[in-house]
Structure 1
């Protein structure tokens, strides 16, 4: 299936202030692969066959230089990409208002949340040098509070702002590339890149070692801000010692992502529908799934959504403005998939991406089961 992508050139471009390199110069090394073709002359972007360009490393250390700031195009959001117990912060807040944890045995600094985001921006600029990007949307949770030494004996209510310290244990972010879009069933999808960092996965009481990150590339449904992520576009654990190592592994994930196949599979979901009876059967079996004996459960494809998510899907089957049932009670698998990704917004940061990928696999598997060719048929039987 050949897919045409719409180029959007409205809004401000990503502008870089003095002190940050403006141009990224590629070498002459090329290799054929299947992903994204970037035409540097007319800036058109197509999914399909392309020549991967290996780029010269870009020094991003100046991102933290005094007076250096990044300006992005603005984007109006209907809802956040994740809710749960998170709150929104800016990149400026992370850089200027939060302390950075260290490994206590050698006092070596961790790769901070802001470095993670800025490294991702650097990788994006290398892979998509002619595209604008939206302002990073950043969500954090589990705030760790502290105080400066001079505030040791001051009551909490009397602390001044400069005597308070804090950082966030968990952080998730996304960066949209609004110039690369596709429409499925009337819903505009925008190419989106992001990641998750959880300090609780690190042993900060030991010496510095490889640090763990989660990274993805996929699409965001702009109707509901739900993320659409598949297995090829997700790395559940990137282990890195430096931001250069981290960036290299991010580039590998982006290069290994088959966007054309991802979009084709999502488009195919529109061709399948669940009757009200089928939908009720899936909801009931999904509730039974977690209570199955281990031997039986091992024979069935994994479902990571819990009872709370399934209840949300059941409610939204009747109430969701964009993806509810039709007049006959039927619901397309595309709408069903978006009910799953919508319920996933209530997941905590550390399980959010895994469940998002699982929602895609589950929807794809049920679609196959409707045609009688999938081991997901247990959920429909």
Structure 2
């Protein structure tokens, strides 16, 4: 990709508050942590190849949202961003043609990341839910693999959320209402308008209330085992059968993680009677989801929230549910 010069909004990182360092575990998998300065100084900017028009860079995405929140909603103060990237795209300058990789100088290398995820913590905006500390969190995802960079410039796709991060396990807690799964924009200005609308319409009380409600419902060991078995069956159903059931995005390997954690997790695992609350199960699901790739992590996180509330409704109204009731 050709390197281009962008008009950059300047963020003075020295004036920003350091985040809780353990919060950087909001996503795992094959990711690495980088700084905003690294994205600004060391990474080239992909372009649409047919017309050489610049994409919105990862640096712009992160820094412009920082600026938007602090300018439009001054009651929310944000920490420095925590940024994770994956799928490194390496290149070299023309002067390094034919040169062995081991002999390349730093100024002969080019780099950008196909996928980028970030979060900001809101300073002083914490809540206690079911005994756990949750921090208000804003973040987003950009994945160039979801763009057609071999064509002319078109609308670009972004994912943005506002929700909470459980500081016991660093899992993200995101609802459907706090997640924009596909923002399509042609400019930074349009992107900021979409993000502002999402943040201003976020109903924190509803999300907190629904998560609090999860602790009111429990599954015994037999019901948990039935739930796990149905998750495994679901992944092998045909499209017609799946269409009749709530959507489930968790993978088989992540199901294994949930089972291990049910037994071994000292905070969210089963109690001495083998029982587990939906709140605990929700956190086992979101913890397992941290192994997902950046480009589908947020969708799976939201899906875990929706699934637990489906189960909660079923238990509350005694409505038979395929995932937990054995007589269905």
Q: Please give the TM-score of this superposition, normalised by the length of structure 1.
A: 0.81
Alpha-carbon deviation of 1:373? 4.8
Distance 1:302 1:376 in 2: 13
Aligned to 2:3: none
Shift in alpha-carbon separation, 1:243–1:163, aligned structure 2, 3 A: same
Aligned to 1:103: 48
Aligned to 1:46: none
Aligned to 1:223: 168
1:63 aligns with 2:5: no
> How many residue pairs end up in the alignment?
319
Contact 1:170 1:196 in 2 (8 A): yes
Once superposed, what is the RMSD of the aligned Cα atoms? 1.6
Contact 1:105 1:207 in 2 (8 A): yes
Distance 1:190 1:127 in 2: 20
1:167 aligns with 2:112: yes
Correspondence for 1:303 among 248, 254, 268: 248
Aligned to 1:196: 141
Report the 3-state secondary structure (helix = DSSP H, G, I; strand = E; otherwise coil) of the residue aligned with 2:111. strand
Aligned to 1:176: 121
Correspondence for 1:130 among 57, 66, 75: 75
Distance 1:294 1:331 in 2: 30
Distance 1:374 1:293 in 2: 24
1:242-281 equivalences under 5 Å are 242-281=187-226
Distance 1:362 1:337 in 2: 9
Whichever structure has more helix as a proportion of its residues is 2
Contact 2:114 2:143 in 1 (8 A): yes
Alpha-carbon deviation of 1:156? 0.8
Distance 2:266 2:58 in 1: 35
1:152 aligns with 2:97: yes
Correspondence for 2:60 among 111, 115, 127: 115
Q: Please give the TM-score of this superposition, normalised by the length of structure 2.
A: 0.93
Contact 1:221 1:227 in 2 (8 A): yes
Aligned to 1:24: none
**Comparing 82-91 with 114-123, which one deviates more in the overlay?**
114-123
Aligned to 1:341: 286
Note the alpha carbon deviations across 1:58-105, whole angstroms, 9 max, x for none. xxx66349xx54532123333610001110000000001110111111
Runs of 4+ in structure 1 over 6 Å off? none
Unaligned segments of structure 2, at least 5 residues: 1-6
Distance 1:350 1:277 in 2: 34
1:74 aligns with 2:15: no
Whichever structure has more strand as a proportion of its residues is 1
Note the alpha carbon deviations across 1:127-150, whole angstroms, 9 max, x for none. 431333121110000000000111
Correspondence for 1:85 among 30, 43, 51: 30
Shift in alpha-carbon separation, 1:186–1:127, aligned structure 2, 3 A: farther
Contact 1:137 1:173 in 2 (8 A): yes
Report the 3-state secondary structure (helix = DSSP H, G, I; strand = E; otherwise coil) of the residue aligned with 1:327. coil
Contact 2:8 2:60 in 1 (8 A): no
1:324 aligns with 2:324: no
Distance 1:152 1:333 in 2: 57
Note the alpha carbon deviations across 1:134-188, whole angstroms, 9 max, x for none. 2111000000000011111211110001100000000000111031111012101
Note the alpha carbon deviations across 1:306-342, whole angstroms, 9 max, x for none. 1111110000001113211111111111111100100
Unaligned segments of structure 1, at least 5 residues: 1-60
Distance 2:215 2:152 in 1: 51
1:208 aligns with 2:130: no
Distance 1:92 1:322 in 2: 36
Contact 2:220 2:276 in 1 (8 A): yes
Report the 3-state secondary structure (helix = DSSP H, G, I; strand = E; otherwise coil) of the residue aligned with 1:134. coil
Report the 3-state secondary structure (helix = DSSP H, G, I; strand = E; otherwise coil) of the residue aligned with 1:271. coil
Contact 1:366 1:377 in 2 (8 A): no
